[in-house]
């Protein structure tokens, strides 16, 4: 079973074909976009992209975890994780294009 993965190279190629900029310019554009999002998340700021969704940083507290194989308890340290909440527009767009209906 293989998953279809959208890579950075495919995004750059798609931008190049649809916008008409050089691949070098498209790569710079994409990397700049990712850097802007990353830098804002590092500053603990939410990133909202209209009709796409919101990226947020959430702090997870330290907790005790368990290795399912050995049943050994391990302390999982406190950490930040990135949460993404898709917009209703994106959810509806995906459901319409995959044949799923809105069940709300």
pLDDT digits (tens, 9 = 90+) for 6-65: 999 999 999 999 998 999 999 999 999 999 999 999 999 999 999 999 999 999 999 999
- For 2, the 3-state DSSP assignment is coil
Are the folds of 1-44 and 46-104 the same? Answer: yes
Domain boundaries, the chain: 1-44, 46-104
Q: Considering the domain 46-104 in this protein, what is its CATH number?
A: 4.10.520.10
Q: Do residues 87 and 53 touch, judged by C-beta distance below 8 A?
A: yes
pTM of the shown model = 0.75
Fold assignment, 1-44? HU Protein; Chain A (4.10.520)
C-alpha 36: how far from chain center? 14
pLDDT digits (tens, 9 = 90+) for 42-59: 999 999 999 999 999 999
């Amino acid at each position: 079973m293989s998953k279809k993965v959208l890579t950075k190279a495919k995004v750059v190629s798609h931008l190049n074909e649809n916008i008409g900029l050089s691949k070098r310019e498209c790569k710079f554009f994409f990397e700049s976009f990712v850097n802007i999002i990353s830098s804002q998340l590092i500053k603990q700021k939410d990133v909202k992209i209209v009709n796409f969704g919101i990226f947020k940083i959430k702090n997870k507290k330290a907790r005790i975890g368990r290795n399912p194989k050995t049943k050994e308890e391990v302390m999982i340290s406190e950490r930040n994780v990135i949460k993404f909440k898709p917009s209703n527009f994106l959810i509806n767009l995906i459901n319409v294009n995959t044949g799923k209906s809105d069940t709300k």
